[in-house]
Amino acid sequence: MTYALSIVDLTISFGEFTVLDKVTVNFSPGERHAILGPNGAGKTTLFNLITGDLKPTSGTIEFYGNDVTNTSTHKRIRLGMRRTYQSSLLFKDLTVRDNIFAAVRGIKAGRMKVLPLSKDHSDVIDTEKLIGRVHLKDVADKKVVDLSHGQQRQLEIGMAMAGEPKFILLDEPAAGLSPKERDDLVRLLEGLPSEIGFVIIEHDLDIALKVVEQVTVMSNGKIIASESPQEIVKNPQVQAIYMGTHDHKGNMHA
Ligand SMILES: Nc1ncnc2c1ncn2[C@@H]1O[C@H](COP(=O)(O)OP(=O)(O)OP(=O)(O)O)[C@@H](O)[C@H]1O
C-alpha cells in the first residue's frame, strides 16, 4: 500500500543540537492522526520538515509515493499537502468570503484574472462550499478582525481545505480556544470528508483522542509510542511523561 506520508529516519540538527533523531512514522490515506508531546519535543519541527519549511539533515519524506525530501513547499502543495500554522496567516482586513476565495484562487492557474467572477464560476461555488464546510456561513461577510478566535481557527482550516487537499497538517488548532469553541472544532474536524487525512498537533488529550484513530507521542526529538487512542492512554511511558498533569477526571494533559 502507498502511504499518504512516509517518514523514514528523519533527523535534523542545529549545530550540536539534534532536534529530531531518526523519526520514522507513516500515515495512511484518509488517516486521522494526533502528535502529542511536551513543549520542545520536536512536533512543530516535524511539521516544518514535512512541508519543506525546513530541510532535514538526513532521512526521507514521501508523499503519496513521491520523494519530496528536497522538493519545494510549493510542489508539496501542488501534490495535495496543506497545513495550518500556530500563528495566523489570515488577511485580517478582508472578509471570511474573500479569505476563502483568495485561497481557492491562489492555487489555480490564471489566478490573476480580473474580478469579479459570475456566481456560477466554479471558484465562487467552491468558495461557498468551503464556507459552509467550516461552519462560517453566518459570518461570511464579516472581516477577520471581527471574528472570535475560534472562528479564525475555523477559517484557517477552511483555507487549508481549498484546492482538493489530500492531507492536512494542523498545528495546535485548539490553542487558546474556549470550551465551547473546542467542541465546535471537534465537530468540524469530525465532519471533514473522510478521504482527507490529517495530522493534528494537540496538547489536550481530550480533543486529540476524540478526533483521531492513531496517536504518536514524541519526547526529546524521538517517537516513544505510536498506538490507538485506547492503547496510548494505558502506555506506561506515555503516562510517565504526562504524570502530574491529570485533571480531576483522570484525563492527561501535556
Ligand atoms: N531553528 C532552530 N534552531 C535551533 N533550535 C531550534 C530551532 N527550531 C526549533 N529548535 C528547538 O527544537 C526543539 C523542538 O522545537 P519544536 O518547536 O519543534 O517543539 P514542539 O514539540 O513543537 O514544542 P511546542 O509544543 O512548545 O510547540 C526546541 O528545543 C527548540 O528550541
Residues 152 and 90: beta-carbon distance below 8 Å: yes
Mutate to test the pocket of ligand 1, among 23, 45, 84 (most ligand atoms within 8 A of CB): 45
User: How does pLDDT run across 100-157, given as a tens digit for each residue?
Assistant: 998 998 765 555 555 666 777 888 899 999 999 999 999 999 999 999 989 999 999 9
CA distance 209 to 225: 14
Which of 113, 133, 163 represents a domain boundary (last residue)?
A: 163
- Integer Cα distance of 124 and 181 in angstroms: 28
Chain mean pLDDT for the chain = 88
Q: What share of the chain is helix, strand, coil (3-state, %, to 5)?
A: 35, 25, 40
Q: State the total domains in the chain.
A: 2
Q: Is there a domain that residue 100 lies in?
A: yes
- pTM to 2 decimal places: 0.88
Is 42 close to ligand 1, i.e. is its CB under 6 Å away? yes
Asked if residue 132 and residue 206 are part of one domain, the reply reads no
Residue 205: closest CA among 48, 26, 44, 38: 38
For residue 85, tell me if it sits in a domain: no
Helix (H, G, I), strand (E, B) or coil at 121: coil
Question: What's the CA-to-centroid distance between 105 and ligand 1, angstroms?
Answer: 33
For residues 210 and 108, state if they share a domain. no
Domain that residue 40 falls in: 1-80+165-254
Q: How confident is the model at residue 218 (pLDDT cuts 50, 70, 90)?
A: very high
Which DSSP helix (H) or strand (E) runs through 9? strand 5-14
How far is residue 118 from each of residues 114, 122, 123, measured CA to CA in Å? 11, 9, 9
Grid cell for residue 174 = 485548539
List the residue whose alpha carbon is closest to atom 18 of ligand 1.
42
Q: Which residue has the cell 508531546?
A: 37
- Tell me, yes or no, whether 119 and 223 share the same domain: no
Q: Which residue type, as a one-letter code, is found at position 57?
A: T
